[in-house]
Amino acid sequence: MSHAIERAVEAVLFASAEPLSIDSLRAYVGDGDIRTAIAAVAERYRGGGVELVERGGRWHFQTAPDLAHLLRRDREEVRRLSRAGIETLAIIAYHEPVSRAEIEAIRGVQVAKGTLDVLMEAGWVRPAGRREVPGRPLTYATTPEFLSHFGLASRRDLPGLDDLRAAGLLDPVDLAFEQLAVEKDADDD
């Protein structure tokens, strides 16, 4: 592989204010084996003070997670999501693209307009088009910023039920109902 392409990919990614896709990089550096160049640059930076990471099919440099505290001069504004916000974000992440009515059906309660506004303002949720059904409801999906904020390469990295159960993050009432269902099935056999 050409060392020149590797250097060009590194320079473009370093100077970019936003994560870049393979096609975006190709527009800057021309034809060549962009994927191999990215892999070489990522390997060279692995374990360093900055790392080349992929989030949602886009590449960017970020500070190594263990050194991020060194760059914080001002106290970060802590933005806490309400329980409704957390539930809504989780539903969108696991079921996207999803409409407001579908979110409400899953949650069992109405979604306040402000909840979706807060998630969009944070840059974690975006409108994802309209369903081709009567009323053409707007659907919502997560963004590359969502993936980046939560350290996910893709939605496939979201935790599954077994992961959530192991972490103790499932509601004890839900776990009790699940255990009763298992016991009932065993009794029926």
Give residue-wise pLDDT tens across range 149-176.
888 888 777 777 676 666 665 566 555 6
Q: How far is CA 129 from CA 18, 85, 104, 115, in A?
A: 23, 21, 18, 19
CB of 52 closer than 8 Å to CB of 61? yes
Predicted pLDDT at 175: 56
Predicted pLDDT at 150: 81
CB of 11 closer than 8 Å to CB of 25? no
pTM confidence score:
0.54
Average pLDDT, the chain: 83
Give residue-wise pLDDT tens across range 103-118.
998 888 888 878 898 8
